[in-house]
Structure 1
Amino acid sequence: MSTVPERTEPTAAEQLSRNLAVAAVVALILLCLAWELWLAPTGRGTLALKVLPLLPAPLGLWRYRMYTYRWVALAIWLYVLEGLVRGTSESGPGQWLALGEVALSVVAFTACTAQIRQRLAAAKTA
């Protein structure tokens, strides 16, 4: 009969990567909303809907849901691409906001990837 190892408390590295991931995703949501609704809106603000896929992410990240870390690590590249395109095609505040979007997206990706690698390594040794 095999026993499933009990979940231990997260390590300091896991907590750090989780906190970075949550902070980066929340900051990315706030940046995108502020960008499209107040700071440098394009059109009627309908581009603010781009944050909808990210809205459930902070809760799953906070609860250490591996599935959430995986899909965020994949989906975040859409925000990197948008930021790169708009950062090279816009001028003024839109360009700086796009570069901020890229920076936050890269931080979120790095934190999610670190969390995934740490958890897989821990599972491998258990």
Structure 2
Amino acid sequence: MTFNSTFFRRLTLSSYLLLIIWLVVWHFVLTIDKPTSTVFTLLFWIVPILLPAKGLIQGKPYTHAWTNFIVMYYLLHGLTAVYAVAGERLYALVEIILCCLLFTGCSFYARIRGRELGLGIRKLKDELLEEKQAFESLKPKNQK
């Protein structure tokens, strides 16, 4: 792994762990008078962020890429809470910052490490050229 992929992997793992800790602290310690049950809070706020844990720990670029979809759930929650819940604006701001760091780390790690492993998406012009060559090899020689 290059320096860049190592840096973004560390950024991803640290912000991921901090986001999990922050969600637990926010929803179970700081917000004591919540209207929802503990089971609902666990299922709705904690379980989704735990889904990519194995792939992130193993350093799989594909898992880093799709983790961003889950991060958007928390980013939207933070943005909504900043706007709508006056008493939790600071908490939501911390969530937004951690989500932005996690999104950045995941995106760049998936891109850089994917290229290192040769997992990148091929360019369309290369695909079309290969398809054209395959098609032309099937045509009879007397036909133009």
Report deviation, 1:12. 1.6
Q: Name the structure 2 match of 1:69.
A: 64
What is the aligned counterpart of 2:113 among 107, 116, 119? 119
Q: Name the structure 1 match of 2:48.
A: 53
Matched, 1:110 2:101: no
- Verify the 8 A CA contact 1:22 1:58 in the aligned structure 2: no
What secondary structure does 1:73 align onto? helix
**TM-score, with length taken from structure 1:** 0.81
How far apart, in 1, do the equivalents of 2:41 and 2:92 lie? 13
The range that moved more, 38-47 or 95-104, is 38-47
Matched, 1:91 2:91: no
Report deviation, 1:59. 3.5
How far apart, in 2, do the equivalents of 1:48 and 1:89 lie? 22
Partner deviation per Cα, 1:36-95 (whole Å, 9 max, x = no partner): 111124224433431212224344212111231022112110100000001111123x11
How far apart, in 2, do the equivalents of 1:106 and 1:97 lie? 15
How far apart, in 1, do the equivalents of 2:99 and 2:29 lie? 21
Larger Rg over CA atoms: 2
- Verify the 8 A CA contact 2:20 2:46 in the aligned structure 1: yes
**What is the number of residues matched between the two proteins?**
114
Percent identical residues: 25
How far apart, in 2, do the equivalents of 1:87 and 1:48 lie? 21
How far apart, in 2, do the equivalents of 1:86 and 1:47 lie? 16
Amino acid across the alignment from 1:89: A
Matched, 1:14 2:8: no
* Unaligned residue ranges in structure 1 (runs of 5+): 1-9
What secondary structure does 2:86 align onto? coil
Q: 1:88 to 1:48 in 2, by over 3 A?
A: farther
